[in-house]
Amino acid sequence: MSIEPIKWLGDKLRLLDQTRLPGEEIYIELSDHQGIASAITELKIRGAPAIGIAGAYGVALGAQKINSKAKDEFLEKLRDVSKTLTTTRPTAKNLFWAIERMQKVARTGKDAEEIKELLIAEAKKIHAEEVESSRKLSQLGSELIWDGSSILTHCNTGALATSGYGTALGAIKWAKEQGKKIKVYVTETRPLLQGARLTCWELKKANITSVLITDSMAGYLMSQKKIDCVIVGADRIALNGDIANKVGTYSLAVLAKEHGIPFYVAAPTTTVDPNLSSGDQIPIEQRSPDEVTHIQGIAIAPEGFEALNYAFDVTPHQLISAIITERGIIREPYGEGLKEVC
Amino acid sequence: MSIEPIKWLGDKLRLLDQTRLPGEEIYIELSDHQGIASAITELKIRGAPAIGIAGAYGVALGAQKINSKAKDEFLEKLRDVSKTLTTTRPTAKNLFWAIERMQKVARTGKDAEEIKELLIAEAKKIHAEEVESSRKLSQLGSELIWDGSSILTHCNTGALATSGYGTALGAIKWAKEQGKKIKVYVTETRPLLQGARLTCWELKKANITSVLITDSMAGYLMSQKKIDCVIVGADRIALNGDIANKVGTYSLAVLAKEHGIPFYVAAPTTTVDPNLSSGDQIPIEQRSPDEVTHIQGIAIAPEGFEALNYAFDVTPHQLISAIITERGIIREPYGEGLKEVC
């Protein structure tokens, strides 16, 4: 794997600062949970699986700084650490899943010292598992990508988003490695341009034929029969198969349906929320309007103009042809399939 | 009308440079057709009706510089002038319509001097007629906008695009002037951000409650029942009611259908192409990929990354609830209605 966006250095975490790509490859080293929380909030690290991993390391790093010896007091302070990390971003399930798992492991430790060790081991385990999940689901997902096909993808779902192969982009990369001749259309993904900045950067490194388009061009390309399938990631999956993903995903799903094009979602099972029966219960993050009114610091609208900035949207399961997980490809009825893999 | 994007100064044309908005209100004065042609190509003036008007003045200005006295020779040189102007942009019908009309008038003049005078008079007439059309269609279109409704619009279709009230945005402004309480959602309209830069600027001047969104957020807003109707302009209308308009329009039309939201197109009859039976015959301009890979000069993708830049797309008539012209609101079957008004 040539891209290593998340690397544990023994006593600190090294992250590739994704806000600086594609112009600069800058690595930052973080040794406390506040630093990790800020990196998540500021999108230096983003992508549902990746922020799960970073969140786990955040708990582990936070634990190392707790001075309390008594287990109860230690766990109480660890809950504060976890709270700081969980309040960074509300939509991606993986973050909450990872932190809950870290909390659970902490409770099994007999004393502060053991808990500290257990948490580092658990974060590394979560990291390794997510990398492995991403490899498996990329392999499975690649089966849905035909030789000679053109694939539309949205946002970034590659190594940067997962620390492994990727999810949607992982399947695309796997298909390429199998020798399939494919072409990828990448939506730029406004407002923060993860498609243009990050996915194009990964596709270039992977030497895959690809073309950048604005989000608004996807419909026209479909009408011109230039797209054979759409494949995207997910930030949270409800038990009925509804998914939340980067804003614009829903529009692509509606357009895919209109044109009879398969619409695939690829995500590890850590993205599934077993507490939610449908997508309308998924909390949708609203970010600063400045991300819409400004592009890389430059104002594009009159000063003070009101803007909305939903970071995600919800795509109902009826529009999804299949959900690709590391434990199998799931199709309607999603309820059964998702329960089986979780 | 407080905004005067096109003003004839007796011997030259004054244009508000739309590439500098909303940051700066800079006027440029052009005294020859080459200058007008460049202004159209570089989008200093844009919007189908507006480039029709500018094209007409371009022919008039070009004519003034022709030294030939013989009518035949004069007309031949005038054809070169017209050719320079018609090869600027391929999609908007209004440009070709206006230049053809100017050519026709030129042929009626008895000599070079008379032709020069006739052409200035004709350009002024076209300008005045387009302003009047825009006033009438804005008034008619406003009837489709209910009190208390939220309207989604795309790109810029106001005074800047028409030199008059506007088309889609004209109808919105008229509704507001009638005292209707309305809210406008404006798509930023990548790649060149005419929604964010120009429509927001006009809406602010008109004191209309409005919110900027990225193009990718429209679907989610519709799913949240925040949009009551969509209204857009057109660059060319085929006789079956198919329209070409700013890229992204087609996606909005598909989304509107999915949500049962009316989708209106507002354009003067000069946008109708009586030679085209359907939208698939409309030439779609492809502009420089740099407009996609860069935003206001800043690279957003890795250097040299391939990009597509369709400036327009085609929306089939089946997705259009009504076409608003200055001569009436037309509904299915569009063939009959459009023939009647042309």
A104-132 pLDDT, tens digit per residue, is 999 999 999 999 999 999 999 999 999 99
**Residue B161 Cα distances to A274, B24, B103, B153, B279, angstroms:** 51, 17, 23, 14, 22
Nearest-Cα residue of chain B relative to residue A258: B254
Kindly state whether A260 is in contact with chain B, defined as any CB-CB distance less than 8 angstroms. Answer: no
Complex ipTM, two decimals? 0.96
Check pLDDT > 80 for residue B59.
Answer: yes
Domain range A6-136, CATH architecture: Up-down Bundle (1.20)
Q: Which residues does chain A have within 8 Å of residue B198's beta carbon, measured at their own beta carbons?
A: none
> What is chain B's Cα-based Rg?
20
Signed CA dihedral, A45, A51, A56, A58: sign only: positive
Distance CA A143, CA A55 (A): 31
**Cβ proximity of A74 and A62 under 8 Å:** no
Q: Please list, in sequence order, all residues whose beta carbon lies within 8 angstroms of the beta carbon of residue B32, skipping any fewer than 6 positions away.
A: B61, B62, B65
Which chain B residues contact residue A289 at CB under 8 A? Answer: 212
Percent with pLDDT over 70 in chain A? 100
- Asked if the model's pLDDT at residue A2 lies above 90, the reply is no
Q: Grade residue B342 by pLDDT with cuts at 50, 70 and 90.
A: confident
Is residue A306 within 8 angstroms of chain B, CB to CB? Answer: yes
Which residue does chain B place closest to A309, by CA atoms?
Answer: B213
Q: Is the pLDDT of residue B311 over 90?
A: yes
Restricting to A residues 106-165, those with a Cβ less than 8 Å away from any Cβ of B are none
Task: Give the pLDDT mean for A97-108.
Answer: 98
Q: Per the CB < 8 Å rule, is B212 touching A299? A: no
Question: d(Cα A31, Cα A29) in Å, to the nearest integer?
Answer: 7
Residue B316 has pLDDT above 80, yes or no: yes
Residues 6+ away with beta carbon under 8 Å from A35: none
pLDDT(B290) > 70: yes
pLDDT (0 to 100) of residue A30? 98
- Mean pLDDT of all residues in A40-58: 97
A19, A193, A295, A300: best mutation site toward chain B, by most B Cβ within 10 Å?
A300
Which pLDDT belongs to residue A109? 97
pLDDT in tens, B238-258: 999 999 999 999 999 999 999
Contact B211 A313 (CB under 8 A): no
Active site residues of A: 235
Please give the Cα distance from A316 to A217 (Å, whole number): 22
The pLDDT-based confidence of B282 (bands split at 50, 70, 90) is very high
Specify the pLDDT at position B124: 98
Distance (Å) from the alpha carbon of B255 to chain A's nearest alpha carbon: 7
What does the block give as tokens for B164?
């008059």
Three-state SS annotation for chain B: CCCCCEEECCCCEEEECCCCCCCCCCEEEECCHHHHHHHHHCCCCCCHHHHHHHHHHHHHHHHHCCCCCCHHHHHHHHHHHHHHHHCCCCCCHHHHHHHHHHHHHHHHCCCHHHHHHHHHHHHHHHHHHHHHHHHHHHHHHHCCCCCCCEEEECCCCCHHHHCCCCCHHHHHHHHHHCCCCCEEEEECCCCCCHHHHHHHHHHHHCCCCEEEECHHHHHHHHHCCCCCEEEECCCEECCCCCEEEECCHHHHHHHHHHCCCCEEEECCHHHECCCCCCHHHCCCCECCCHHHHEECCEECCCCCCCECCECEEEECHHHCCEEEECCEEECCCHHHHHHHHC
Residue A40 has pLDDT above 90, yes or no: yes
B15 - beta bridge partners? B6, B28
Instruction: Please give the interface size between A and B, counted as residue pairs whose CB atoms are below 8 Å apart.
Output: 171
Active-site annotation holds for B235: yes
Q: Which residues contact B263 (CB under 8 A, 6 or more apart)?
A: B229, B230, B232, B252, B253, B256, B257, B319, B320, B321
- Taking Cα atoms as reference points, which of B312, B284, B217 lies closest to residue B255? B217
Q: Are A271 and A93 in contact, with CB atoms under 8 Å apart?
A: yes
Searching chain B, which residue's CA lies closest to the CA of residue A307? Answer: B212
Instruction: Check whether A330 has a pLDDT greater than 80.
Output: yes
- Can you read off the two tokens belonging to residue B75? 């007309």
Contacts 24+ apart (CB under 8 A), B130-133: B130/B49, B130/B52, B130/B53, B130/B162, B130/B163, B130/B164, B130/B268, B130/B270, B131/B162, B131/B163, B131/B164, B131/B165, B132/B164, B132/B326, B133/B49, B133/B164, B133/B268, B133/B269, B133/B270, B133/B325, B133/B326
A246, β-bridge pairs: A312
Mean pLDDT of chain B: 97
Mean pLDDT along residues B187-203: 98
Domain boundaries, chain B: 6-136, 143-341
pLDDT for B133 beyond 80 = yes
Q: Which of B17, B147, B228, B235 is catalytic?
A: B235
* Residue A112 pLDDT: 97
How far A75 CA sits from the closest chain B CA (Å)?
40
Alpha helices in A277-322 (DSSP H): 290-293
Question: What is the distance in angstroms between the CA of the first residue and the CA of the last residue of chain A?
Answer: 27
What pLDDT is stored for residue A296 in this prediction? 84
State the greatest distance between any 2 C-alpha atoms of chain B, in Å, as a whole number: 66
Output the CATH code of domain A143-341. 3.40.50.10470
The percentage of chain A sitting over the pLDDT mark of 90, rounded to a whole number, equals 98
pLDDT, position B296: 84
Burial (CB count <10 Å: 0-12, 13-18, 19+), residue B181? exposed
pLDDT value of residue B77: 98
Q: Is A293 on the interface with B (CB under 8 A)?
A: yes
Distance from CA of B307 to the nearest CA of A (A): 4
Asked if B219 is an interface residue toward chain A (Cβ–Cβ < 8 A), one would say yes
pTM exceeds cut of 0.90: yes
Contact B216 A251 (CB under 8 A): yes
Q: Is the per-residue pLDDT at A136 higher than 70? A: yes
